[in-house]
Amino acid sequence: MPKLIVVDRAGNQAAIEAREGLTVMEAIRDSGFDEMLALCGGCCSCATCHVFVDEHWAEAVGMPGGDENDLLDASDHRGPRSRLSCQIAMAAALDGLRVTIAPED
């Protein structure tokens, strides 16, 4: 099972298991990170699952799609490696992916 490294808003880091096929948002939420609000449940209709992808993983994760990009534009905290975690599907190739939960808007 792929590992996902999650850094919370306080800078604490934890390694969690993320079943292939789940989104990064689902893996974080299901592991008890209260900071991951994910209000829309993964429908790409809010930005409450905003994360920053570690620079070493940016290419593997790819760029945001159109709707995702529009939602990220509304965030005061958007950065060059911002993604909505509900739009990143875990796969074996992402074993070791490191993300930081973005500040709340």
Distance CA 42, CA 40 (A): 6
Fold of 3-101: Ubiquitin-like (UB roll) (3.10.20)
The answer to whether the pTM exceeds 0.75 is yes
pLDDT of residue 105: 87
Specify the pLDDT at position 52.
98
pLDDT block averages, 10 residues each, the chain of length 105? 97 97 96 93 95 97 96 96 98 98 95
Beta 97-101 vs 3-7: how paired, if at all? parallel
CA distance 6 to 23: 13
For the chain, the domains span: 3-101
